A and B are shown apart, each in its own frame.
Chain A
C-alpha cells in the first residue's frame, strides 16, 4: 500500500512540477514575444493608432470650450519643478540670457499672411491670461503653478494663418543632445493642431508665480497647452511656424519626444 501511495505522490509531484515548468516556460515565451512585438514597426504602428481614437473621443466628450481645472492661489507649489532641459547651453540662448533677454524676438513664420517678430515688451503689452493649472508629466508626477501669458490664438490672429495651415510648430533654443560634431539639429520642438492652439488656456507664458519665467522653466517664453501632458509644453520658444504637415520636419513625428516614440497626441 505504502509503495503504491508513495508512487502516486511521486507521480503527482512530477505532474505538478511539469505543470509549473510549463506555466513558467509559457510565461517567458509570451514575455519575449511581447518584447519582439515592441520592436516590430507594423505592430507598434497598430498600437499607436489608439491615440487617434483617444483624440477623437477627447474631441467629442471634451470639445474646445471645456476648460482644464484651475486652482486657488493656496494650491500653488512652493517651487515649480523643472524637467528636461534646465539651462540651455546653446550659445545664442546664453547670449540672450546674459542680456536679460532684451534682444529676444519671437518669430512667427510659415503659412501666415503677416510674419511677425515680437519682443518681450510687445508680448507683455498684449492682452493676457492668468491661470493656475496643474502640470502633468508623462512620467506620472504633477505640479501646480500660476502662469501668465498671451493667448496663442491672439498671436495667430495677428499673423493670420493661411487656409492650408494645419499645425503650429514650436521651435525652441535648447539642444537636447548637446553640441553634435556633425552639426545635427537636436533642438527641442513640438507641434499642436489649430484646435489646441485656439483653446482659451493655450498661452505663451512669460510669468510663473507672479515673477518672470525662470530659466529652469523655459525663460523667456514657454507654451502652456493645459489639455495635454508636459512634453507638449515647449520651453525656451524661439519661433512659431505654421505648417500644413510636420512630416518633413526632423523625424517627421511632430516633436522631439514624438520622434523618440511618444504619442503626438498627449491628451491621455
Chain B
C-alpha cells in the first residue's frame, strides 16, 4: 500500500513557509555552549565533593539533627549493600548510590565514579575543578544576563506576552501531545518554554550560585548573618544540591524536547544560528 497515493496530497510547503530563520545570535550561542561545559563539570565535580561527606542537613550545623539525605554502604549477610536514606526511610540503591564499582571493585561511595570528576574519590582535585569552572560559569552568567537586557533579547524573546500567558492552557495540552509550533509560531519560544527559561535563568541559576557562596566562610562575612536568609550554612549546602538537581531535571527535559522537536535542526540553530521552520499546515496550527 502506498500511503502517498491514497492520502489527499498535502499542500506543498511554500518557500516562505519552509524558510530558514536566523534564530540564535552569536553571543547567545557562544554563552550557551560555555554554560554546557561549565554546568557539566560543576555538576560532576560537585558530586565528588558531596561524596567527601555524603549527607545533607537543615540548619547551621551537621551535628544537632540527623541528615535528611544520607548515602551509605553497609555490610550484610548478603554482601555489601548501598543505601539511600531520605527523611529517615532507607532505599536499596546498591550499584549506584552508597555502593558502586570502581574499576571493577565494590566500593563504598556516595555517587558512582562514572558520575564524578575526577573519577576517583579525590576531594582536593574535585574542588580545583569546581572552583575554577565556578568562576567561568559566574562570569559567563553575568555576561549573559547583561546581554539579554541590553540586546532586548529578554523583553523581546523571553518574557511572554499577555496573550501568550492567556493561552497557557493550550500550550500545556500541546506539550502533553508533543505537538510543536510550526510556521511563524515556531520563530518564538512558546509560553511554557519562556517561563521555564525565566525560572532557570533568574531562579535556579542564581540560587545555585548564592547557596554555593554561602558555604564559603569568607563570603559569609560580607554581611554578618546573611547565610541565615538561606536557613544557615548546612541548609545552604542542601539548597545548593537541590538547585543542582533542579538544573539536571531542566537539562533532561530540555534535551528531550530538542530530540522530539528535531535534533539536527535544533542543534544546527544553536551552532550556526540558522533554524529551518517546520512547515505550517493550517489544520496542524499550534497556538503559541
Contacts and interface: CB of A to CB of B under 8 A. Distances in A.
B76 interface: no
B254 to A, nearest CB: 16
Interface stretch (B181-189, B213-221, B275-283): B213-221
Nearest to A201: B221
Contacts of B224: 66-70
A141 B218 contact: no
Given A47-B132, A143-B61, A268-B131, A62 B222 contact: yes
Contacts of B44: 34
> Which size class do A's interface residues fall under?
35 or more
Given A31-B117, A71-B60, A143-B61, A38 B122 contact: yes
A106 interface: no
Interface in A52-87: 53-54, 58, 61-62, 66-71, 75, 77-79, 81
A66 B52 contact: no
Contact of A140 (B53, B131, B225): B53
A69 B118 contact: no
Contact of B61 (A38, A142, A228, A257): A142
A50 B60 contact: no
A263 interface: yes
B125 A136 contact: no
B24 interface: no
A237 B145 CA distance: 48
A229 B122 CA distance: 17
> Which size class do B's interface residues fall under?
35 or more
Contact of A136 (B52, B55, B233): B233
Interface string B119-141: 11011110111011011000000
B217 A136 contact: yes
Given A51-B131, A61-B219, A140 B61 contact: no
B226 to A, nearest CB: 9
Given A139-B52, A141-B53, A227-B221, A54 B131 contact: yes
B217 A227 contact: yes
A46 interface: yes
A218 to B, nearest CB: 18
B196 interface: no
A260 B124 contact: yes
A48 interface: yes
A58 B233 contact: no
A68 B221 contact: yes
B221 A263 contact: no
B221 A66 contact: yes
21 contacts: A31-B117, A34-B44, A34-B118, A38-B117, A38-B125, A50-B134, A54-B135, A58-B218, A58-B219, A62-B222, A67-B224, A69-B221, A69-B224, A78-B64, A137-B53, A138-B52, A138-B127, A140-B52, A140-B53, A141-B61, A143-B62
Given A38-B129, A47-B132, A69-B225, 17 more contacts: A31-B114, A34-B44, A34-B119, A47-B131, A50-B134, A53-B135, A68-B221, A69-B221, A138-B123, A138-B127, A139-B52, A139-B53, A141-B53, A141-B62, A142-B234, A261-B125, A268-B219
